[in-house]
Amino acid sequence: MGGNTEVDLDALRAVADRVTDAADAIAEIHWPTLPAEALTGSTVGNVPAPVLIAAKLNDVIANMRGWAVAARMAADAFERADSRSADRFPRR
């Protein structure tokens, strides 16, 4: 098993930018909540769903931003490695 793998660093960075933009858009959404007192007597009145959903969304947003940072760091590392090693290997 061998072969070459090529990564389009511009495309990777563009995807990272889109993921960051999506995370920012999600973070700006104001999710409606219904006060527990408005649900008095309801079996769902005591369910902390809005709090749980907000926490999960915060995790999703953080993970999206983290992935985008990691993708940019990987692109930068590939670029540095390529520029440092370019003279060591002949072009095909």
The pLDDT tens digits of the residues spanning 45-76 come to: 667 777 788 889 999 999 999 999 999 999 99
Rounded to two decimals, what is the model's pTM? 0.75
SS3 content of the chain, % helix, strand, coil (to 5): 70, 0, 30
State the pLDDT at residue 1.
63
Asked, for residue 91, whether it belongs to a domain, the answer is no
Residue 2, domain member (yes or no):
no
Q: Specify if 54 maps to a domain.
A: yes
Q: Are 72 and 13 in contact (CB under 8 A)?
A: yes
Query: Residue 36's pLDDT is what?
Result: 66
Distances (CA, A) of 10 to 47, 67, 69, 76: 45, 16, 14, 10
* Residue 58 belongs to a domain: yes
| Residue 61 CB-density burial (10 A; 0-12 exposed, 13-18 middle, 19+ buried) | middle
| pLDDT(81) > 80 | yes
Q: Are 71 and 13 in contact (CB under 8 A)?
A: yes
> Residue 90 and residue 92: Cα distance in Å, rounded?
6
79: containing domain: 9-31+45-85
> 4 in a domain, yes or no?
no
Of 6 and 32, the one with more pLDDT: 6
Q: Does residue 69 lie within any of the structural domains? A: yes
Query: How many Å apart are CA 63 and CA 44, to the nearest integer?
Result: 29
1: in domain: no
Residue 40 has pLDDT above 80, yes or no: no
Which one has a higher pLDDT value, 4 or 36?
Answer: 4
What is the tally of structural domains in the chain?
1
Q: Is residue 17 part of a domain?
A: yes
